[in-house]
């Protein structure tokens, strides 16, 4: 049995949240694409959705004090230990929102190194769809994540029916999910972060460094 872990990070503030809706659609499409690619082996796709809205206060405390609560630790570890990552941010002022950036700032250095990642966003206008390319993609490049070529942006008109509505969004979701599944299927399974892997030497602890 092959287990593939997907972490899904969504930074929407609304209740209900269009970013969460897009995140769920992307996760379902990626899970289906992964199962298609592993026809000969049994595969279990584990999906962990991280609603950053629920960690907002903890994130501010973490960046101010360095103290990470158990719930936030679980979310950070889910991302670090995932085989693939899906991120969805609402676009605020033509960029990712502050909550999204706070979470990425709270990740340990190297947590996204080589991580297959699908970047997505929701916005109030289709005119800001390129924020994914000029803001989110460079940020992911800095963090050494491997972002798939197709980024998915959903504006209000994309959720509606019609010639340029839902079918076009469905196609983009399927294409991006297929690209992420290809990358995840090619990669060895990610190891869960081990908090005891790099212990501080005892002599150093005694010295109080």
Ligand X SMILES: Cc1cc2nc3c(=O)[nH]c(=O)nc-3n(C[C@H](O)[C@H](O)[C@H](O)COP(=O)(O)O)c2cc1C
Closest to 118 (Cα-Cα) out of 62, 176, 169: 176
Q: How far is CA 178 from CA 32, 41, 69, 117, 182, in A?
A: 9, 18, 35, 12, 6
Piece of 35-43, 76-84, 118-126, 200-208 that binds ligand X (CB under 6 A): 118-126
**Chain residue whose CB lies nearest ligand X:** 12
The reply to whether 14 sits near ligand X by the rule CB under 6 A is: yes
Least spacing, CB of residue 34 vs ligand X, in Å:
25
Which one of 13, 60, 107, 146 is in contact with ligand X (CB under 6 A)? Answer: 13
Piece of 73-81, 120-128, 157-165, 175-183 that binds ligand X (CB under 6 A): 120-128
Least spacing, CB of residue 133 vs ligand X, in Å:
14
Which one of 2, 93, 164, 204 is in contact with ligand X (CB under 6 A)? Answer: 93
72 with 9: CB under 8 angstroms? Answer: no
Least spacing, CB of residue 123 vs ligand X, in Å:
3
The reply to whether 60 sits near ligand X by the rule CB under 6 A is: no
How many residues bind ligand X (CB under 6 A)? The answer is 16
Which one of 7, 8, 12, 84 is in contact with ligand X (CB under 6 A)? Answer: 12
128 with 91: CB under 8 angstroms? Answer: yes
Which one of 114, 124, 138, 162 is in contact with ligand X (CB under 6 A)? Answer: 124
Which one of 94, 160, 189, 205 is in contact with ligand X (CB under 6 A)? Answer: 94
Non-local (6+) Cβ contacts of 33 within 8 A are 174, 177, 178, 180, 181
Least spacing, CB of residue 121 vs ligand X, in Å:
8
104 with 34: CB under 8 angstroms? Answer: no
The reply to whether 167 sits near ligand X by the rule CB under 6 A is: no
CB nearer to ligand X: pick between 94 and 192: 94
Maximum Cα interatomic distance, the chain, rounded to a whole number of Å: 69
State the number of CA atoms in the 13 A half-sphere of 28 facing the CB.
7
Question: What does the angle CA 104 – CA 50 – CA 71 come to, to the nearest 5 degrees?
Answer: 85
Q: How far is CA 158 from CA 18, 29, 127, 179, in A?
A: 11, 17, 12, 21
Question: Residue numbers of the site for ligand X (CB under 6 A)?
Answer: 12-14, 17-19, 90-94, 122-125, 128
């Amino acid at each position: 049995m092959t287990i593939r872990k997907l972490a899904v990070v969504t930074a929407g503030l609304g209740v209900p949240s269009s970013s969460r809706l897009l995140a769920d659609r992307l996760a379902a499409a990626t899970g289906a694409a992964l199962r298609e690619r592993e026809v000969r082996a049994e595969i279990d796709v584990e999906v962990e959705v991280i609603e950053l809205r629920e960690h907002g206060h903890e994130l501010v405390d973490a960046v101010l004090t360095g103290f990470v609560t158990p719930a936030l630790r679980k979310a950070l570890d889910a991302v670090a230990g995932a085989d693939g990552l899906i991120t969805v941010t609402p676009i605020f002022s033509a960029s990712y929102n502050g909550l999204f950036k706070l979470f990425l700032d709270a990740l340990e250095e190297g947590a996204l190194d080589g991580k297959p990642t699908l970047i997505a966003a929701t916005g109030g206008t289709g005119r800001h769809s390129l924020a994914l390319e000029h803001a989110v993609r460079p940020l992911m490049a800095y963090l050494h994540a491997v972002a798939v070529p197709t980024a998915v942006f959903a504006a209000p008109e994309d959720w509606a029916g019609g010639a340029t509505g839902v079918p076009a969004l469905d196609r983009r979701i399927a294409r991006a999910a297929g690209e992420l599944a290809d990358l995840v299927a090619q990669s060895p399974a990610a190891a869960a972060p081990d908090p005891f892997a790099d212990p501080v030497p005892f002599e150093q602890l005694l010295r109080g460094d």
